[in-house]
Amino acid sequence: MVNFKKFKTFIFDLDGTLWNMEKIFPGVIETIEKLRKEGKQVLFVTNNTFFSRKTLIRKFKSFGLEIKENELISSSQVVAEYIKLKNGNAFAIGKGLEEDLMNAGIKIEESNPDFLAVGYDEDFNLEKLRRAYEILEKGARLLASANGRIFLKGNEIYPGTGAIVKAIEHMSNKKALVLGKPSIYMLSFLNMFVCSPMKETVLIGDELESDILLGKKAGYYTVLVKTRIDKEVKGKLRPHAVIESVADINV
């Protein structure tokens, strides 16, 4: 039994942990509200670029969960910060990522960009693959917001951002720099928001190779929820605890 009372900061993954992109899981809103009432810091970390950050916040609000902008840490922010650090511009694949880059002040360059930034694009096709190859051949550097194989929308399985990234890598023979979970870039960005020591911070997610690995790298206590992708623990990567769902968190 996990003593959740000892933690001061709770970090939640979104997809598969709090919702399935169509509805919030039972008990999530009540759990988040109780944590806030108890004075806990609540943060949300995601590789979701299917939606822009503003759209994600609006969607969760429509379901009854209020998320402030400074509580949501997205891989699109890490991509934007990296491009800013390099004083670059970018061509973006995926509407959600493109919107976030533009909102962060990144110039979207169509012809000869410094970076090709890849997010989730439900309309990705062979023509876009050809365009990506063309851009990379001109010297752009390949950045990936995520590298996940699959994600679930409702009860259906869809190819993840990683499937798009792999197609581009294979055609271009270039390796992407992955900036989302569980990269050190996402870790460094996330740590700027966490207000408690690592031993008093817990990260809750549904994917071992993304959420749990990120938490392990950070030195946080890690909890796997069995609500979506990884329902059992196999191999060497093991969370500190496994629970059925976010509703099982008691403070």
CATH superfamily of the domain spanning 4-47+201-248: HAD superfamily/HAD-like (3.40.50.1000)
Token pair listed for 249: 């968190």
> For residue 247, is pLDDT > 70?
yes
Task: Give the predicted TM-score (pTM) of the model.
Answer: 0.95
Tens-place pLDDT, residues 134-160: 999 999 999 999 999 988 888 888 999
What angle do helix axes 75-85 and 184-191 make, rounded to 10 degrees?
100
Question: Of 100, 86, 193, 201, which is closest to residue 146 (Cα–Cα)?
Answer: 100
Domain boundary assignment for the chain:
4-47+201-248, 75-178
Q: Per-residue DSSP letters for 112-167?
A: S-SEEEE---TT--HHHHHHHHHHHHTTPEEEES---SEEEETTEEEE-HHHHHHH
CB of 212 closer than 8 Å to CB of 237: yes
CB of 75 closer than 8 Å to CB of 214: no
Single-letter residue type at 51: F
On the question of a common fold for 4-47+201-248 and 75-178, the answer reads: yes
List the CATH code of the domain at 75-178: 3.40.50.1000
Tens-place pLDDT, residues 190-217: 999 999 999 999 999 999 999 999 999 9
The pLDDT mean for the chain works out to 95
